[in-house]
Amino acid sequence: MRKVKVFMPSEIATDCDLCGIRFHLNAGGACVKCRRALCARHLHGSWLRRLLVDLGAAPLCVECRARGN
């Protein structure tokens, strides 16, 4: 009998719109203001911001937060 995996790793990936690296969607995401698909470094910028987004804050990218959007 074959084992059934409950939590399988994501196979959906895309390229970051800023740096071009390939990342899995659960490692990054899209900014709610500029709608760009960004890696975690360009979307969150820090582990603290990532934690805030995981707790319900809007996922704003580093550039949109710097511009004050």
For residues 43 and 59, the answer to whether their CB atoms sit within 8 Å is: yes
Q: What pLDDT sits at residue 3?
A: 74
Q: What pLDDT sits at residue 1?
A: 67
Q: What pLDDT sits at residue 10?
A: 66
Q: What pLDDT sits at residue 69?
A: 62
Q: What pLDDT sits at residue 47?
A: 94
Write the pLDDT tens digit of every residue in 10-66.
678 999 999 999 998 888 999 999 999 999 999 999 999 999 999 999 999 999 999
Of 23, 68, 65, nearest to 48 by C-alpha is 65
Residue 4: count of CB within 10 angstroms of its CB: 6
For residues 12 and 30, the answer to whether their CB atoms sit within 8 Å is: no
* Secondary structure, 3-state, 14-31: EECCCCCCEEECCCCEEC
